Structure 1
Amino acid sequence: MKQHILRVSPQTVHWGYFSKVVAPALTVRSGERVTIETLTHHANDDYERMIEGDPGAESVFAWTSEYKAVARRGAGPTTGPLQYGVGEGIGVHLLTGPVAVEGAEPGDVLEVRIVDVQPRPSCGACFAGRCFGSNVAASWGFHYRDLIEEPKPREVVTIFELDTAGEPYARAVYNYVWTPQTDPDGVVHSNIDYPGVRVDHKLVKKRENVLRDVKVPARLHFGTMGVAPAEADYVSSIPPSYTGGNIDDWRAGKGARMYYPVAVAGAHFSVGDPHAAQGDSELGGTAIETSLTGEFEFILHKKHTLAGTILEGLDHPMLETEELWSMYGFTFPNYLAALGPEGQTTVAGHASLDQAMRDAFRKLRRFLMQVHKLSEDEAIALLSVAADFGITQVVDANWGVHGSIRKSVFAER
């Protein structure tokens, strides 16, 4: 089995979008493995802990008044009057890739096995070998218009340290309220509205001893990964859709398998938005955003081989672990098709858990009927007594509900 390594650099990352037109950073064959480095787009919340001294991270985040290593940050406009910067307004996540898979064609299914996940340690002089992440209670969070303490509204950044000596967990180090930050191009960011802006810690007030005596169980996983959609050349990394993307399910970690319907030749798989921990719903807007390195195995399932398998009829992302299968429902299963080119900016205005739940139900019903050969009445009975539906996220514009069925239910089959 051939093993590849894809390190982070300005040439191997793209920021804020999935794309069918960006040249692949790597091409692999079905059955090959790739070790892929990923960076959190929130690393500049604490430059000393998460960027300084790290050649890969420094090269990607480099931004001065004369030079911006990764200029385009989002699927938005690249010319004309830009308020924040190139690609502004649509997409935020740092993604490594794309990885093209030889022979992948629309109608196929790409299986991505997450073989291993490891945290990326700090290289800073004072923090070398330790691992850190950032959680932001942000303006796009579900809570933002429902605060009860002053000042209102506010965005709060909490820096966590990850301990991996035994069973991994995270502890809060400090937090601060976001204050206006000026980027190297002279743009003032009163809110967290453009990715990669370095926080000047002389302008914020650190609050120590936060979340005292609280240990957060670590769930190392990748919040955003998937293949390129066919509907547009550049597609925002924020709303998830039928080809995956920003699903934000903490179960997508070591040992999991994700399945994606291929929409374009080569598939164009990208991965990023690495997380140290997250709960269902990602309520405040982010997880513990950290940097991770994953080992992935790519298996291409050709469309003519899908009949009679669990992948028959699959037109949406699906997760498989040793214990269960999960289907992902969204407000819009394919928001680009439903809302047109403007969907990338308007989908948030339609966000609905009712529609996401309906979509998750329909997808899991189809799975039980087509794969497990149940009648509709049998499937609905089983959904009611054995399936688990949870809120995956309410912060990614196209809200998500996951429907899961345990494999043990079918142990006697």
Structure 2
Amino acid sequence: MLHELPAITRNVHWGYFDAALAPALIVESGDFVRAEAITHHAGDAPDLMMDDTVRALYDTIPESDRQPGVHLMTGPIFVRDARPGDLLEVRYLQMNPRFNYGSNLAAHWGHLFTDFDKERVTIYELDQTSNTAHALYAYDYPGKYLVPGKRSEVRDCCRELALEGIRVPVRPHLGTAGVAPDVAGRVSTVPPGAHGGNIDNWRIGAGSTMYYPVAVDGGLFSIGDPHVSQGDGEISGTAIEASLNVMFQIVLRRDFTFPSPLLETPDYWIVHGFDEDLNIATRNASRDMLLLLTERQGLSRDDAYSLMSVAADFSVTQVVDGRQGIHCKIPRSIFPPKKQPRA
């Protein structure tokens, strides 16, 4: 069955996951969902990145209720019969930009903020025929970017040309998606964790599949923080933040378990490690890759450890979410067919 999940007030929550949230949608395993994911940066260029639907969300949800995190989330989705210990397999099928514009903020949480001592917004325009984006203009943000969804009026900004002649590849993806953690109260959307959350891996796009460990009945899956392009590291603090229309299928899995968000693409298996210390995040990703290779591919620990060193690539996913991210990918092509079961 195909369900529609529009971004209207009753279907969104701003800045948090919460196990006590009432579901916006109830689905069966195998159902499809077409959902609207709205960026919390639409206010950076309201003339280009807002329509009546987006404007209504910004007008309706008070600033005091946009916390403790920052991301505007659509959901949650309750999956019938999902229980703690299960996995939600989310097959991302389509991610289409809602508008032809997006925003990148060089923020006060960016890795080099002290080198610049200011916050700056660069607005990008998408060219969907060439699947690229180019900078349309930039401006220094007036004041400090403290309230999610604050609107920058045109009259308050000095728009300047930026990055003339440069185009970047468009690769739509979700920066933040996941299930509700099994804790009381609101959980910030900013740090990633076992539940998913703000992973900020640009490979979580159309054609990929994510596996999220279920922590509460129904899973309570939500999506948000849509991007159209990002580099590994997300060094300035944000990606090209832009609203997306997303279609995905949710399948309940009980035939295997995994302790952290697991990503499957046509070419790679990718595990994620998180911590405030990148060395510890790397160790966490290493242990999860070791688990994947031994439990899912049947390798001995010794063989898996050797293979990781010669064939797996470790990269910094992001350094700007407080809890930093490392991802480790291993090519699927190196395994013989019998070692390639779908997870």
Unaligned runs of 5+ in 2: 339-343
Q: Secondary structure at the match of 2:45?
A: helix
- Give the residue type in structure 2 aligned to 1:57: V
Pick one of 93, 105, 108 that aligns with 1:136. Answer: 105
Q: Which residue of 2 aligns with 1:76?
A: none
Match among 302, 305, 309 for residue 377 of structure 1: 302
Kindly report which structure 2 residues correspond to 1:86-101, keeping only aligned pairs within 5 A, or say none: 86=65, 88=67, 90-101=68-79
Report the secondary structure of 2:269's partner residue: strand
Matches within 5 A, 1:97-116: 97-116=75-94
Deviation digits for residues 193-232 of structure 1, max 9, x if unmatched?
A: 1101111222221112x10110000011011000000023
The structure with the greater share of residues assigned to strand is 2
Structure with the greater alpha carbon radius of gyration: 1
- Residues 106-139 of structure 1 deviation map (CA, whole Å, 9 limit, x = unaligned): 0110000001111103xxxxxxxxx100000000
Deviations 1:355-405 (A, max 9, x none): 110110011011111111211211111001000111011011110000111
Cα distance in 2, alignment partners of residues 105 and 194 from structure 1: 35
Match of 1:399 in 2: 324
Partner of 2:117: 153
Give the unaligned 5+ runs of structure 1.
Answer: 63-68, 74-84, 122-130, 181-190, 307-311, 332-350
Q: How does 1:314-333 map to 2 (within 5 A)?
A: 314-331=258-275
- Per the TM alignment, residue 86 of structure 1 is displaced from its structure 2 partner at its CA by 3.8
- Which of 53, 57, 67 aligns to 2:54? It is 57
Instruction: Give, in angstroms, the shift of residue 412 of structure 1.
Output: 5.1
> How far has the Cα of 1:87 moved from its partner?
5.0
The AA in structure 2 aligned to 1:261 is P
Q: Deviations over 1:224-283 (max 9, x none)?
A: 000000023210000000010100000000010000010000100000100010000111
Per the alignment, residue 97 of structure 2 pairs with 119
Seq. identity, %: 44
C-alpha distance in 1 between matches for 2:190 and 2:122: 21
Structure 1 contact 7–56 (Cα < 8 Å) conserved:
no
Give the corresponding residue for 2:156. Answer: 203
User: Among residues 178, 182, 194, which one is paired with 2:141 in the alignment?
Assistant: 178
Q: Following the alignment from structure 1 to structure 2, what is the Cα–Cα distance between the partners of residues 198 and 224?
A: 22
The answer to whether structure 1 residue 21 and structure 2 residue 12 are counterparts is no
After superposition, residues 10-409 of structure 1 pair within 5 angstroms as: 10-51=9-50, 54-62=51-59, 69-71=60-62, 85-86=64-65, 88=67, 90-121=68-99, 131-145=100-114, 147=115, 152-165=116-129, 167-180=130-143, 191-208=144-161, 210-302=162-254, 306=255, 312-331=256-275, 351-409=276-334
Change (3 A) 1:33 1:86: closer
| Match of residue 341 from structure 2 | none
Matching residue's letter, 1:385:
V
Structure 1's 412 and 37: CA in aligned 2 closer, same or farther, altered over 3 A? closer
Looking at structure 1, the residues matched to 257 and 41 of structure 2 have their Cα atoms a distance apart, in angstroms, of: 37
Length-normalised TM-score, structure 2:
0.96
- Any idea what the Cα deviations from partners look like across 1:290-309, whole Å, max 9, x if unmatched? 0000101000013xxx2xxx
Matches of 1:370 and 1:276, distance apart in 2: 34
Q: Distance in 2 between matches of 1:25 and 1:290?
A: 22
Runs of 4+ aligned structure 1 residues displaced above 2 Å come to 85-88
Q: Give the aligned length.
A: 338
Distance between the aligned counterparts of 2:285 and 2:267, measured in 1?
Answer: 19
CA distance in 2, matches of 1:403, 1:8: 33
CA distance in 2, matches of 1:398, 1:256: 24
Give per-residue Cα distances to partners, 1:172-194, cap 9 Å, x unaligned.
000001113xxxxxxxxxx1111
Q: C-alpha distance in 1, partners of 2:56/2:24?
A: 16
Cα distance in 1 for residues equivalent to 2:140 and 2:150: 15
Is the CA contact (8 Å cut-off) linking 2:14 and 2:65 kept in structure 1? no
Contact 2:95 2:245 in 1 (8 A): yes
TM-score, structure 1 length as denominator? 0.80
CA gap 1:378/1:325 in 2 versus in 1, 3 angstroms: same
* CA distance in 1 between partners of 2:245 and 2:131 (Å): 16
| Alignment-mate amino acid for residue 55 of structure 1 | D
Helix, strand or coil: the match of 1:207? coil
Does structure 1 conserve the Cα–Cα contact (< 8 Å) formed by 2:87 and 2:257?
no
> Do 1:142 and 1:284's aligned partners in 2 also have CA atoms closer than 8 Å?
yes
